[in-house]
Amino acid sequence: MLADMESSEPAITPSEAQAAIADAEAARTRLASSLHLPSYFYSSIGAAIAVQIATGATGIANQETWGMVLLSVGVLVFVLVAAVQLARFRRLNGAWLGGLASQVLLGTAGLASITYVAAFALATWAAFAGAGWLTPIAAVAGGAVYAGAGRRWWRSYQGAPAEHSRGEQTVVVVVAVVLAVAFLGALVVLR
Amino acid sequence: MPDLDPFLQAPARLKLMTMLTAVSEAEFATLRENLAVSDSVLSKHVSALAAEEYVRSRKGMHAGRRTTWISLTPVGRAALRSHVAALRELIAGVE
């Protein structure tokens, strides 16, 4: 009889439920807080983006072979810096964050995307218009804001790790890479 | 009222699953340190959750040594969401 009564009660009391949720959320916050970015993370990403914008804009404006080489070198520098920083993050923390890769490094966060496109467009226009002095300024500004957008994403992640931990879906990243490669291919073919 | 998930009632499992929502993938040792449990305890929980397809584990390398990386599956994410909703309803029922 007593056993029947006990079995009809919930297996867990409301106070136990509250404690279980609080403990689990505290563990998640602790894990997110224990993650650290590698040294020179933002500065290296900002610098790599600035180099990529400057070399890309100059390369597009001077569509000789050396221009395409310059453009490719800029892309390569960025890819190398991003790969090294992601590997360092993984090694340092024993964890992988898709959100860090896509939002911070690939710039899929709104502010980073808009800034990158605007800075690249301005730098390219300046290179075509003979205002070469403006190209490095636009590149450095683009890199700085890009890095700032990454810093902002990191703060958002620390505040709500579950909402920001995941990156873009693979299909989105693949489409972006295909479009970028197609754009570069078109530049080479049409020059 | 959604049912509590019997596989997530152990506090350590709920913590483990909730921690995994903060990352895309975590190394075994990282989870063990944050959960403050032994290798064997974590290993048992991971095996039980992997058997239900709540988590995925794969062998990989970390700091030059072989290790195990663990991540939440879509099935596990949905189960966790449902379990936490059931817990919240249980709490709300007495407030």
- On the question of pLDDT at B76 being above 90, the answer is yes
Which residue from B9, B26, B91 is facing A95, i.e. has the nearest CB? B26
Residues of A in contact with B7 (CB under 8 A): none
Give, to the nearest 10 degrees, the angle between helix B28-35 and helix B11-20: 130
**What is the chain B residue with the closest CA to A166?**
B24
Please report the pLDDT score of residue A3 as a whole number. Answer: 40
Domains in chain B (CATH in brackets) are 6-92 (1.10.10.10)
Asked if B24 and A99 come within 8 Å (Cβ–Cβ), the reply is: yes
Q: Label each residue of A63-92 as H, E or C.
A: CCHHHHHHHHHHHHHHHHHHHHHHHHHHHH
What average pLDDT does this structure show over A164-180?
Answer: 71
Q: Which amino acid type is present at position A41?
A: F
Please report the pLDDT score of residue A2 as a whole number. Answer: 39
What is the rounded average pLDDT for all residues in chain A?
84
Catalogue the long-range contacts made by A106-114 (C-beta closer than 8 Å, 24 or more residues apart): A106/A82, A106/A168, A106/A173, A106/A176, A107/A49, A107/A146, A107/A149, A108/A167, A108/A168, A108/A172, A108/A173, A108/A176, A109/A149, A109/A150, A109/A152, A109/A153, A111/A145, A111/A148, A111/A149, A111/A152, A112/A145, A112/A146, A112/A149, A112/A150
Interface residue B61 vs chain A (CB under 8 A): no
Residues of A in contact with B73 (CB under 8 A): none
- On the question of pLDDT at A140 being above 60, the answer is yes
pTM of structure: 0.83
- Residue A70 contacts residue A8 (beta carbons within 8 Å): no
ipTM over 0.85: yes
What is the rounded average pLDDT for all residues in chain B?
92
Residue whose entry in the numeric block shows the structure tokens 């449902």: B82
